[in-house]
Amino acid sequence: MATFGKKRRQSHVKSGSQSTNSIADTFSRAPMDVGEEGRFVEGSILRLTMKNFLTYDYSVMFPGPNLNMIVGANGTGKSSIVCAICLGLAGKTAILGRGDKVGLYVKRGCNKGFIEIVLYKTGGNVVIHREIHVENNQSLWMLNERHCNQKSVEEEVKALRIQVSNLCQFLPQEKVGEFAKMSKIELLEATEKSVGPPEMYEYHCELKNFRNRERELENVVKEKASFLEKAKQRNDRNKHDVNRYYEKKRHLDVIELLDKKKPWVEYETTRKECEGAKKERDDAKRQLSALKQAQAPMLRKIQLIENQLKPNEAQIKAKTVAIKEASLKCKQKQEQLDRKHKEIEDIKQTQRLKQIEEEDHQKRISNTRRTIEDLKAELAKVADQPDVTPRINAVNLELRNIREERAKIDGEKGDLRREKDKLHAETAMLLRKLSDMNNMMNAKEEKLRGRHRDTHTALQWLRQNRQLFGGNVHEPMMLVINVRDHRFAKFVENHISFHDLRAFVFQKKDDMERFMTEVRDKMNLKVNSISAPEDSCSRRPPSRNIESLRRFGFFTYLREMFDAPDEVMSYLCHQYKVHDVPVGNEQTKAMIKTVIEEPYLRVLYTTDERYTLKRSYYSNKISTSNSAVHPSQYLTITVDAEEKRLLEQQMKGCELKLREIKALQAEYATLDRRDNELLAEKKHLCEVKGKKRQLEQKISTKQDSLRQMEQSVINLQTIEEETKAKIAVVNAEKVSIITVFLAQIKLRSKLTMEKVYLALDSVGLMGEKNKLENDCRDGASELKTTEQKYSRLEERKVQLTEQCKGLLKRARSICKMRPDESLPEDLRNAFSKLPDTLDEIDAMLNEERSRSECFTGLSENVVDEYNKREQEIKHLEEELEDESSALNTYRQNISEAKERWLNPLKQLVEQINDKFSDFFRSMQCAGEVDLHSENEEEYDKYGIRIRVKFHSSTQLNELTAHHQSGGERSVSTMLYLMALQELNRCPFRVVDEINQGMDPVNERRVFDIVVRTACKETTSQYFFITPKLLQNLQYAEEMTVLCIHNGSQMLPPNQWDEREFIKRCIQRKAMA
């Protein structure tokens, strides 16, 4: 039994639960006086009051200033005290790891509850009151009996250095395992907040911000330096291009001056040439006048002869025209004679054709006579063949029968075509619906693959190897369960664990073992499998008819909300009792107090919550727990199995009808082929029957034709006489044409002789003229040459004059001068430095152009870009200097902040390490705490590393969530918190059931360390919560033991007698 303090008091407690009374008795000090209150650290809890909170009706607790040991069986309300401390100090519900709504912490059946905490503070204690309302999950806050908001409470709690979100200060039962999962960085921050000076964590945050800003500045400086270097390099590369650009520009300026001077030189050269041409023209004009005076007498004689020659030439031309006309008429008459010759030949040719036609006519008559003889012989043969009329009648009868059947089918053909189109449309619609359902199943499979890839791989294997199994094998439940209404999916999914939702269901155990051997052992896949019960439970009736539960708002059982194969449903009824789990509505939620009193209910659902009811075997009392119904993730995709089955049946019906229609179409095609065969046979028989008649008709036709041919014989003698008469007429016409033709020939001969006489006269005159021309040919040649020279010089003078005007205008235009303006002095001086001849100017122009063309790929943009970049480089250098100065300032600030933060932190970690190592040495183990950082400049990477060794044969290993066992993690966590306890920076610490995973030896050692450390006067308040304690533990007078009891047989608080209880304990110990 525990040893208690000398000063004792009993806490004022009045509590109870929904069906039992509850009491929190404290073997501790009586309400403290002023002297004892001085032992509390500022921010410690002096009093905790709870009303209608979780398991408590009403309870008041007075913890001690040092170690408070809260002991009680599971479910009595120990963790309720932890929840009250957290929520009363404005902590979040997420810290506790229980319900996410604050209304869930109010005792069931109550509309509201409250928590009141009194915190010690020099100059006046702080009273925090929180009233929680279930209806809207809202809280009303009071601080020192004044209404306030939650933010004011949070600020007051923060001022007292209380951090319920810090696992180093406040470690609820549900968060014990998370302490070992904290990273080194998180552990450092939690330690700084818990035991470090107030400014330590601020310095750390400041350092991280400084470092982030330093990195930003370093990146900025680096980027700008890099950009500056690249800009300088680009300008260095462009500088040569700029120099080349200016050199090219100098050449272009020279070219421009040369282009301006060249037209002036051309003008001056042309002007001088024009003056020379004018002088030469005047000399040629004087020489031409002298030559003309010397040649005048002979020219007059030649002119007289030319006047005599002109009438002769006119007469010769007239005679030539007349000769041409006579020749044309002769030609026309010759052509008429040729046509008459052709006409006689045509008459003779017509006669020859008539003779040939008569010969052919005689041949046709002979051939027709032979054909008649042949047809008569064939007719004699046909007369001997049998009669085909009976067979024709039989064929006609069969054709009538076939056409009647075809007519009958044709009558149905339109209906069949419409029915066929309708069936095709219906089939397409059914295929679309089935495809949509299959797509829904594919979506389910995609979710399964995303959540558990091994199960999806095993599913693919099963579909390919289903023939290996003798019984029914069902795919994972989440694929074969089909919720009838997607709104109900959340109930089914919350009721069945995901472990089973992804499980394969087998009818036979042998099949399951074969499957697991293949996929788990051979393929190394992590999958679940289930064997359905041998006796099917799928039709098992519920314990009570749903109609008897409708008064509570229940409308169905869980089994009725979904469909599944028989084996799957059998397993769910057997394992999850889905046939006996009712689902209710808002009415059920409103009547929940009455509903849970029903003795046959174990699990039930309302609209948003699941309720689990347990009945005590001892007191027959009912305890309930509830949890929120989470939205469905996998079963919301629903496929109506019955609808799918009906669709498949409809598909089969459509296919059967289409086959019937195809059979009818095949029958119609067969009748059509037989009809064609009979028609062909009938045609052949009719041909045989009608052949005799045809032969007789042919013979008659040929005989008629023969008679007509014999009557149309041509008379060749008559045709010959007609031909001779026509030829005589044509010959008479030829005689008249020849008479005219001979007359024209004579006229042409006469005109020709007259033309010859006139030509002889002209020849005599031309001889005299030629003699005179020979006499003056030398003078005429010189005259002609002089005239040509004069004309050429006159044209040259006019051309040069116009050219001078154009060149002068062009020169002034190029130099941008007015028509009356003289050459400017600056151009005159510039021109004086350039060559004065066109050849020299052209040579220099070619040279300058060649040099300028060597500078290719250059433009004025290069120079503009170069100058612009020079300005940018200058601006960048100024910015880089400012950024570098700011970076140096930040580095100086970081250095100063680092000194303020790192040195105290190292001392703090060293103190923690000394205590932590001492605690582990006292347990014959080893442990170290050090400040860990891979890079001293990365302040957001600093962390506290805990290394422990529980066995002499092992090395120190870092404390993680996986390396150590649960008990070892609990010991390490507890000793680290105790190492922090002696530093006394936070007003209190809470540790809930951390000793559950420890073995008895470690638990005893840890307990001794906790008592020894937490009961020192220099430490702060400490709450240690546990459901059980080892026997014969050592206790200190400074500790307070709070025993939590709960049950229907508990005494009311006012009847509790502490002395009698101790007396009975001593008596039992003596008797034992």
Confidence check: pLDDT of 32 > 70: no
Confidence check: pLDDT of 116 > 90: yes
CB 10 within 8 A of CB 25: yes
Whole-number average pLDDT of the chain: 77
* Residue carrying the six token digits 């951090």: 163
- Which residue, 1070, 1064, 1062, is CA-closest to 2? 1062
pLDDT for 855 equals 65
Confidence check: pLDDT of 9 > 50: no
Confidence check: pLDDT of 141 > 80: yes
Distance CA 181, CA 966 (A): 12
Coil vs helix vs strand at 226? helix
CB 231 within 8 A of CB 876: yes
Instruction: Name the DSSP letter for residue 9.
Output: B
* Residue 126: count of CB within 10 angstroms of its CB: 19
**562-563/556-557 β-pairing:** unpaired
Confidence check: pLDDT of 387 > 60: yes
* Residue carrying the six token digits 């103190």: 911
Radius of gyration of the chain measured on its C-alpha atoms: 66
189 or 87: which carries more pLDDT confidence? 87
pLDDT tens digit sequence for 617-641: 656 677 788 888 888 887 776 655 5
* φ and ψ at residue 557, rounded to 5 degrees: -95, 160
pLDDT for 114 equals 92
Burial class (CB in 10 A: 0-12, 13-18, 19+), 317: exposed
Q: How far is CA 1052 from CA 24, 58, 71, 100, 1047, in A?
A: 11, 12, 19, 33, 11
Distance CA 428, CA 434 (A): 10
* Residue carrying the six token digits 């205590």: 915
Amino acid, single-letter form, for residue 1047: G
690 or 1069: which carries more pLDDT confidence? 1069
Confidence check: pLDDT of 554 > 80: yes
Mean pLDDT of 182-194: 71
pLDDT > 70: what percent of the chain?
Answer: 79
pLDDT tens digit sequence for 313-324: 888 888 888 888
Q: How many residues in the chain?
A: 1072
* φ and ψ at residue 126, rounded to 5 degrees: -105, 125
CB 163 within 8 A of CB 196: no
At CB < 8 A and 24+ separation, what contacts does 264-268 make? Answer: 264/811, 264/823, 264/831, 265/836, 265/837, 265/838, 265/841, 266/807, 266/811, 266/838, 267/804, 267/807, 267/808, 267/811
Model-level pTM? 0.40
pLDDT for 856 equals 64
295 or 1010: which carries more pLDDT confidence? 1010
Burial class (CB in 10 A: 0-12, 13-18, 19+), 671: middle
pLDDT for 642 equals 58
Distance CA 752, CA 325 (A): 12
pLDDT tens digit sequence for 856-874: 655 666 666 767 777 777 7
Mean pLDDT of 669-695: 74
Mean pLDDT of 566-589: 91
At 944, which helix (H) or strand (E)?
Answer: strand 943-949
724 or 939: which carries more pLDDT confidence? 724
When pLDDT is cut at 50, 70 and 90, the band that residue 407 belongs to is confident
pLDDT for 12 equals 37
Distance CA 190, CA 192 (A): 6
Phi-psi region at 75: left, alpha or beta (left = phi > 0; alpha = psi -120 to 50): left
At 752, which helix (H) or strand (E)?
Answer: helix 716-775
Mean pLDDT check: name the lowest of 216-220, 417-421, 580-584: 417-421
pLDDT tens digit sequence for 453-493: 888 899 889 988 988 898 899 989 888 888 888 888 889 88
Confidence check: pLDDT of 206 > 60: yes
Tokens representing residue 312 in the block = 């002769």
Confidence check: pLDDT of 255 > 60: yes
Confidence check: pLDDT of 35 > 60: no
23 or 832: which carries more pLDDT confidence? 832
pLDDT for 572 equals 92
Confidence check: pLDDT of 851 > 80: no
CB 890 within 8 A of CB 213: yes
| DSSP secondary structure, 883-923, as one string | HHHHHHHHHHHHHHHHHHHHHHHHHHHHHHHHHHHHHHHHT
711 or 737: which carries more pLDDT confidence? 737
pLDDT for 196 equals 67
Three-class DSSP labels, 672-702: HHHHHHHHHHHHHHHHHHHHHHHHHHHHHHH
Confidence check: pLDDT of 243 > 90: no
CA angle 98, 190, 959 (to 5 degrees): 85
Q: Angle formed by the axes of helices 860-922 and 1000-1014, to 10°? A: 100
Confidence check: pLDDT of 1005 > 70: yes
Burial class (CB in 10 A: 0-12, 13-18, 19+), 194: buried
Q: How far is CA 948 from CA 21, 512, 610, 828, 912, in A?
A: 45, 45, 43, 103, 14
Distance CA 635, CA 478 (A): 7
- Which residue, 565, 566, 562, is CA-closest to 495? 562
Instruction: Name the DSSP letter for residue 519.
Output: I
CB 239 within 8 A of CB 815: no
pLDDT tens digit sequence for 720-755: 888 888 888 888 888 888 888 888 888 888 888 887
Mean pLDDT check: name the lowest of 418-432, 625-639, 832-846: 418-432
Cα(first)–Cα(last) distance of the chain, in Å? 13
**Please, which residues have CB within 8 angstroms of residue 696's CB and are 6 or more apart in sequence?**
379
Phi-psi region at 143: left, alpha or beta (left = phi > 0; alpha = psi -120 to 50): beta
Confidence check: pLDDT of 118 > 90: yes
Mean pLDDT of 573-577: 90
- Which residue, 1006, 1022, 1004, is CA-closest to 1014? 1022
Distance CA 995, CA 534 (A): 45
Confidence check: pLDDT of 822 > 80: no
pLDDT for 18 equals 36
- Which residue, 977, 982, 990, 980, is CA-closest to 89? 990
Mean pLDDT of 1033-1050: 78
**988-992/170-171 β-pairing:** parallel
Confidence check: pLDDT of 129 > 90: yes
pLDDT tens digit sequence for 159-187: 888 877 776 677 765 555 556 566 777 77
Tokens representing residue 778 in the block = 């030398």
pLDDT for 24 equals 37
Mean pLDDT of 922-938: 77
Tokens representing residue 332 in the block = 């026309």
When pLDDT is cut at 50, 70 and 90, the band that residue 19 belongs to is very low
